[in-house]
Amino acid sequence: MEEGPEDDEDDMDLENDPNWIKTQQQLRTMWSFKTGGSDDEWLVKDDVRQILEEQLQCIIGTEKMCQLNDQLVELAYAEPRVEWISRDDFVDLASAYVYFQMFD
């Protein structure tokens, strides 16, 4: 049976995928550890790099970690707070890297 466009959409319904949801929750927890449990929505890019090195490098590998870091740094310079990265940007981008490494 051939897959149609609707089947493709079902395959990529990440918002309802329990693995996607769990990945995002885990990344928010990593962020929270870095902020000392506070609800800070922004971290300086060097602190985010530490999260990548300490937590994600072993999951997604060095090459992908560097790619993710480069994307986050680009966002850091485009954000209203230069050299800072928002939690939402971190979670959104890092979730994609982790999810597709682990579950694709």
Q: Which residue, chain included where needed, has tokens 């579950």?
A: 103
Q: What is the mean pLDDT of the chain?
A: 89
CA distance readout (Å), 61 to 4, 42, 48: 34, 25, 16
12: Cβ contacts below 8 Å, ≥ 6 apart: none
- 96: exposed, middle or buried (C-beta count within 10 Å: 0-12, 13-18, 19+)? middle
Percent of the chain with pLDDT strictly greater than 90? 72
pLDDT score for 80: 85
Q: What average pLDDT does this structure show over 79-104? A: 93
CB 30 within 8 A of CB 51: yes
pLDDT in tens, 25-72: 999 999 999 999 888 999 999 999 999 999 999 999 999 999 999 999
